[in-house]
Amino acid sequence: MTNETTVRAERLRVEAVARCETCGRETDEHERDIRFGLPDPVLRSDEKHLAAGTWMSDDNPNAAVMMQVPELGPFVRSLLPVRLSGGFTVTYGVWISISPADLQHAYDVWWKPQYPEMQLTGRLANEVPPWNVFGAPVDLAVRGPEEIPYCVSSSNSELAQVIADEWNHDLVLSTLP
């Protein structure tokens, strides 16, 4: 391949990358799914999810939707969509700390026809920068029978804003890995 052909091919590749009119970043950086592997309290513990007596709905914590860790409690996965201006969304796959009774209820209905009616209340168990919402109360609801629950509301004003408002691209995207 000649140098001219290489330069032309590189120019076409660069021109093919779609850029956001709002922030200039590539648009594929805007529609992101960020999945937390473990709840932060579990991640900070010495034994993590390997502590004796830990139960998970799947052997792989990345595939698990529920877990209970001795001395740390039960957790359930949830989706926290964050709307960006321009119609983009960054969706965080977070863990929510819930009560043992709610874990039992979630386990009882998760794979049954009643699952779409499931609603839970708990506390956000992951830090989601740039906001200071770790531990904030959050209400969960199922939107579709094949989806994990969504964070739908919160009595914490900052988390309620995260859920309801539309956010500046730079504020959110600059914190992502």
Residue 24 banded pLDDT, cuts 50, 70, 90: low
How large is the average pLDDT for residues 27-37? Answer: 71
pTM above 0.95, yes or no: no
- The predicted structure's pLDDT at residue 12: 47
Residue 41: other Cβ atoms inside 10 A? 18
Question: Can the peptide bond before residue 130 be classed as cis, meaning omega within 30 degrees of 0?
Answer: yes
Q: What is the pLDDT of residues 91-106, one digit of tens each?
A: 999 999 999 999 999 9
Q: Which of 28-32, 64-68, 136-140 has the lowest mean pLDDT?
A: 28-32
- The predicted structure's pLDDT at residue 170: 80
Strand partners, 91: 33, 81
Q: Do 115 and 122 form a contact (C-beta atoms < 8 A)?
A: no
Q: What is the pLDDT of residues 103-123, one digit of tens each?
A: 999 999 999 999 999 999 999
Q: Do 176 and 32 form a contact (C-beta atoms < 8 A)?
A: yes
What is the rounded (10 degree) CA torsion for 29, 31, 35, 41? 80
- The predicted structure's pLDDT at residue 33: 76
Residue 76: other Cβ atoms inside 10 A? 28
- The predicted structure's pLDDT at residue 100: 97
124 contacts: CB under 8 Å, gap ≥ 6: 80, 94, 96, 97, 133, 134, 135, 136, 138, 151, 159
Domain spans of the chain, in order of start: 1-28, 31-173
